[in-house]
Structure 1
Amino acid sequence: MVRETDDLTAAADVEEDLEDLALEDDYALNPEFVSDVADALDRGDADRLRELLGALHPADVADLMGFLSADAREELVPHLDPQTLAEILSELDSEIREEVLEHVPSATLAKAIGEMESDDAADVVDDLEDDKRAEVMAAMPEQERAAIESTLSYGEETAGRLMQREVVAAPQFWTVGQAIDHFRKESDELPELFFDVYVVDPAYKPVGAVPVSHLLRTGRQTPLAQIMEPVTEITVDLDQEEVAYIFDKYHLISAPVIDSAGRLVGQITVDDIVGVIQEEGEEDILALAGVSDAGRDAGVLDIVKSRLPWLVLNLATEAVAVQAINVYQDEIAKLVTLAILMPIVASVGGNAGTQALAVAVRALASRELTAANSLRIVMREMTVGLANGAVVGLIMAIATFAFFQDLRLSITIALALIVNIFLAAAAGVLAPLTLERFGRDPAVSSSVFVTFVTDLMGFLSFLGLASLILL
């Protein structure tokens, strides 16, 4: 018995040492640990590989997959049992997951999907090629197959695709004691994670919810209808971005999902919403820059294809903007100093426009900027632009006078900066608002439009004022 206890203690110490080796202080994977996994794969050392992977959380195993080569991932997949595979698949980046799924036998994949929550299972099945999807679905029990098919029938990025079908519901005439006894008896049918018990009427429509914490603190004879709270219902066809907004606005932990008839068909929990918020935020950031998510394994050609069209569009708009220089080429020839100072006006205006644009896009995404307050926000940003232009213009005027000893030139560039920064602020907020009004994504093409306006007006304002004041 003593030796057995010592062995268990030693095993626990080894696992703790591996956990310390695997992760750095910021929870990023240690490069040495990644190298150890790669070495174990090269040697075909299955025991060492299981030992190393056993020390990791499924999310860390998914992260590890991203650091391995495609060949190494292919070698690693056979070492994952269905339970472990189920935990990892839902954590993988979509590109890597699609690649991993190609190397998992259909029978193994069917077992793994059976271990997953319905929303994660549907996501995995949706990533499969048609032939393999048919094989996997055929290998699954009929009930699980029907649940996945039902989830996939909803549109992408809707509540129906986001929800998990496993819910905890109880009739409104039950007492707390009846509910608890039933849940204990049917514990195998309960979701792995839930926060609320949804109270339903005879038509299975949610009429309220009882938080689990409230349920456990209440006497057994208390009717559920007496302690239930109002619920915020989510319809199956609601866009996931709208769902995230509702969760954020009302500080929800979970919410029931209803079909067109108002019947309870699933639930969405806050852990699903965290992923949506992160996904939508990343999309907006990338869209502002006119790029798509390259991912760790993206090829050069794919990245070029995603970024080149925006650069070409930007080139076209800049070609129009520089026509302002062409119009005033005689003035520039007479006073070369204009060519030296001209880029400053356009550059500072571009930065001012980017500031206003970033604030406007974020405000639109978070519903802080709506039709009800758009006029006030536009006026505020334009006032800020005017104030910033005055300060920056004054600083630039002083610097210009110090270098060139020309008062009229100093006044010219100061006025040009005021005009361009003011117009940049206006464009930065009006461009996304206009695109939003026409049903377009304000994050996608606003930056190109704002850059065009600031460059064009920067050149026109500076050279136009110079022709009036200096020449």
Structure 2
Amino acid sequence: MSRETDDLADVAEPDEDLEDLALEDDYALNPDFVSDVADALERGDADRLRELLGALHPADVADLMGFLSAGDREDLIPHLDPETLAEILSELDTEIREEVLEHVPSATLAKAIGEMESDDAADVVDDLEADKRAEVMAAIPEVERAAIETTLAYEDETAGRLMQREVVAAPQFWTVGQAIDHFRREAEDLPELFFDIYVVDPAYKPVGAVPVSHLLRVGRQTPLAQIMEPVNEIDATLDQEEVAYIFDKYHLISAPVVDNDGRLVGQITVDDIVSVIQEESEEDILALAGVSDAGRDAGVGDIVRSRLPWLVLNLATEAVAVQAINVFQDEIAKLVTLAILMPIVASVGGNAGTQALAVAVRALAARELTAANSLRIVSREVVVGVANGAVVGLIMALATWFFFHDLRLCVTIALALVVNVFIAALAGVLAPLTLDRFGRDPAVSSSVFVTFVTDLMGFLSFLGLASLILL
């Protein structure tokens, strides 16, 4: 994979040894290379900086920014020309990009934005403070400014914000030869990367698409209408998670975006969707744990504020759960062994609930779990819960016999594990299903609810059975 870049001014081809030093085998930045950059910044050695940065792909320079201190990032910015800056800004983490934008002069930033695709340009402008945004937008040519303003008019995390406005379109009466000749004449106005040519009617509504790979295989006199394929139109107001689902389901590389009247206004390509899938997956994982994203530069206060509410909620639910122990305190006083074994039942149930919850949330996100098959999935999880509970209960019963030699205690803990693992599996699938039914994110707060149910039922089932069987 090539990592050279041609957008750093006055930089010769990077030395192979320097490229080898920059990245390790897994494409992670070498700590020694990061140290070299920091040293060059401290010395103010501009020539060495250009040499080091010339060995990196813009995505690696963006990664490098995350490993540098805020002061070093500020010192590095003047060494980046607008073209290089344009490629780096679109790769930076949001938090770091906002910080970097504060230190880039408005004139330089306007030039960099002019080098970007419209979707990336809109993202950068959206991160600017109001005063600086006005300065930068005033310095951008009118056509590009209008495209950015139109993109920003759409809601965040919709297809309209995700799309790039640069598309390749042709009327349905053109031939392959006419299309190729036109695109060659207008090469400077074409998107940097495109996969399909959208065939449009007189109202500029897409009626089909011709993959570039197909276009190159047919004769010049072939009408586009004869070789075009159906397209999956994406409404500009559609949520980006829905867009990702459409791309995944139909194996799309690109898709046209249309407005409320069905007119072509842009396109979404698979590279944008990869970013969306990664973002959504990260959000779901973090939501399951009840935390928000903590970037490399996140402060302790911000992290505490994002996590503390869920811990407080968990504390409140556990306070309710332990009331089950209070109800059976006399039984525990009579048989101290119950206090020893009780946490095992709750812990195993918690793990079983987490397993079912993770599977259910993933299935909901992938549209594999819907109202049409929810009863079958819930029934399956119930059977799995009973089976797992029975096996774990048998193992724990044998261990209990080994340590305590009490048959009734063995039966008690085995039955308690069957009950709690069964309930945990049921809660793990029903909690996200219920949240989804009410239009809430199934990943958010499900884990707290499942933990509460498994702990409460673990205590109740074990102590309740113990009071019936042992006392």
Distance 1:14 1:280, change over 3 A: closer
| Correspondence for 2:429 | 429
What is the distance in 1 between the residues matched to 2:296 and 2:247? 31
| Correspondence for 2:174 | 174
| Correspondence for 1:8 | none
Q: Deviations over 1:234-275 (max 9, x none)?
A: 000000000000000000000000000000000000000000
Q: Partner letter of residue 329 of structure 1?
A: Q
| Correspondence for 2:357 | 357
Distance 1:122 1:14, change over 3 A: closer
| Correspondence for 1:418 | 418
1:9-408 maps to which residues of 2 (within 5 A)?
A: 15-408=15-408
| Correspondence for 2:5 | none
Structure 2 counterpart SS, 1:110: helix
Distance 1:178 1:13, change over 3 A: closer
| Correspondence for 1:6 | none
Q: Partner letter of residue 37 of structure 1?
A: V
What is the distance in 2 between the residues matched to 1:14 and 1:402? 68
1:437-452 maps to which residues of 2 (within 5 A)?
A: 437-452=437-452
Structure 2 counterpart SS, 1:268: strand
Distance 1:464 1:429, change over 3 A: same
Could you tell me whether the CA contact under 8 Å between 2:14 and 2:54 is conserved in 1?
Answer: no
Q: Offset at 1:45?
A: 0.5
Q: Offset at 1:75?
A: 0.3
Could you tell me whether the CA contact under 8 Å between 2:170 and 2:197 is conserved in 1?
Answer: yes
Q: Offset at 1:402?
A: 1.1
Q: Offset at 1:134?
A: 0.1
| Correspondence for 1:5 | none
What is the distance in 2 between the residues matched to 1:263 and 1:405? 77
What is the distance in 1 between the residues matched to 2:31 and 2:126? 33
What is the distance in 1 between the residues matched to 2:14 and 2:367? 51
Structure 2 regions of 5+ residues with no counterpart? 1-10
| Correspondence for 2:4 | none
Q: Deviations over 1:426-466 (max 9, x none)?
A: 00000000000111111010000000000000000000000
Q: Deviations over 1:341-362 (max 9, x none)?
A: 0000000000000000000000
Q: Partner letter of residue 220 of structure 1?
A: R
Structure 1 counterpart SS, 2:444: helix
Q: Partner letter of residue 457 of structure 1?
A: M
Structure 2 counterpart SS, 1:231: coil
Structure 2 counterpart SS, 1:443: coil
Could you tell me whether the CA contact under 8 Å between 2:290 and 2:445 is conserved in 1?
Answer: yes
| Correspondence for 2:3 | none
Distance 1:134 1:12, change over 3 A: closer
| Correspondence for 2:459 | 459
Structure 2 counterpart SS, 1:217: coil
Structure 1 regions of 5+ residues with no counterpart? 1-10
Q: What fraction of aligned residue pairs are identical, expressed as a percent?
A: 89
Q: Deviations over 1:152-180 (max 9, x none)?
A: 00000000000000000000000000000
Q: Partner letter of residue 400 of structure 1?
A: T
What is the distance in 1 between the residues matched to 2:383 and 2:438? 26
What is the distance in 2 between the residues matched to 1:13 and 1:138? 36
What is the distance in 2 between the residues matched to 1:333 and 1:469? 16
Q: Partner letter of residue 147 of structure 2?
A: A
What is the distance in 1 between the residues matched to 2:271 and 2:153? 23
Q: Partner letter of residue 348 of structure 2?
A: V
Q: Relative to total residues, which structure has the larger helix share, 1 or 2?
A: 1
What is the distance in 2 between the residues matched to 1:19 and 1:12? 13
Q: Offset at 1:14?
A: 5.2
Q: Deviations over 1:266-325 (max 9, x none)?
A: 000000000000000000000000001101000111100000000000000000000000
Q: Offset at 1:17?
A: 1.4
Q: Offset at 1:12?
A: 7.2
Two-structure CA RMSD over aligned residues (Å): 0.8
What is the distance in 1 between the residues matched to 2:364 and 2:64? 36
TM-score, scaled relative to structure 2:
0.97
Q: Which runs of 4+ in 1 moved over 6 A?
A: none
Structure 1 counterpart SS, 2:221: coil
| Correspondence for 1:7 | none
Q: Partner letter of residue 156 of structure 2?
A: E
Q: Partner letter of residue 115 of structure 1?
A: E
Structure 2 counterpart SS, 1:306: helix
Could you tell me whether the CA contact under 8 Å between 2:199 and 2:228 is conserved in 1?
Answer: yes
Structure 1 counterpart SS, 2:209: strand
Q: Partner letter of residue 22 of structure 2?
A: A
Could you tell me whether the CA contact under 8 Å between 2:14 and 2:51 is conserved in 1?
Answer: no
TM-score, scaled relative to structure 1:
0.97
Structure 2 counterpart SS, 1:91: coil
Q: Partner letter of residue 414 of structure 2?
A: A
